[in-house]
Structure formats: C-alpha cells, structure tokens
Amino acid sequence: MTDSEAFPGLIRQTHRKIRAASADGAYDTRLCHDELRRKKISALIPPRKGAGYWPGEYADRNRAVANQRMTGSNARWKWTTDYNRRSIAETAMYRVKQLFGGSLTLRDYDGQVAEAMGSFAGEGEILR
C-alpha cells in the first residue's frame, strides 16, 4: 500500500476540524482529494508536473494546474497558498527524530502513543 492509498484512512480517523492539509505531489490523486473534499478540508497539494485538469468539482486543484501551466512551475502557487508551512512542519519532525531517534521502541499502540507524546513534550522543554 502506498502512502497516498493509506492517506484517506488516516484522514477518516480525525475528529477535530482541520482547515487545510498539505502534502507533496505524490498525494495528488483523486483518492486523496476526494477524502479531503468529503471532510471539507482544503487540499494544499501541488499538482504533478504536466498534470491535466479534473472535472469541475476539483476547482482548487484546477486553479493550481492552470497556475502551473502559465508559470511553468508550482513556485507561485506554493507562495500564494502558504504551502511553505509544510516545510516548517517537516523540519520540526526531523528535529524530533534527530533528538529522540527515528523509531519507537514500545510494541503496543498505547505505549507508542505515550512514547511519541513524551518525545514531543521533551522537545518543547528543550526549546524553552
């Protein structure tokens, strides 16, 4: 199973209101966009190079495709949609992995959640 195939299942598990979800071009699939639309989440997913237009209900994505075709890249779209915030989140995750290791040691789910939350709380203490 690819990440983009697993993505809808992860989004379905969310119970809090999410305004926007950022992902890289690998998630530019109808499966991902459909799940985000179903949950009324704005998709900040750059279209793949040479992407085509989709039916009308994908208007936001089609605007990104049009922008890509006019400018030759996704750079302007990324700047106007605050897509760069995604890299800030990725940098934070990289720092957590560097500080606390890239894997969890506990085997059961509840233990892994507690271990991960402890890592995040620990990083917050270090940064203060």
**Residue 127 pLDDT grade (very low, low, confident, very high; cuts 50, 70, 90):** low
Mean pLDDT for the stretch of residues 19-39: 95
- Domains of the chain: which residue ranges? 3-83, 86-127
Question: What percent of the residues of the chain are helix, what percent strand, and what percent coil, each to the nearest 5?
Answer: 60, 5, 35
C-alpha dihedral over 117, 123, 127, 128, to 10 degrees? Answer: 40
User: Does the pLDDT at position 125 exceed 60?
Assistant: no
Q: Taking a C-beta distance cutoff of 8 angstroms, is the pair 37, 16 a contact?
A: no
Put residue 101 in one of left, alpha, beta given phi > 0 → left and psi -120 to 50 → alpha: left
- Dmax (CA) for the chain in angstroms is 50
Confidence class of residue 87 from pLDDT cuts 50, 70 and 90? confident
| pLDDT (tens digit per residue) in 35-61 | 999 999 999 999 999 999 999 899 999
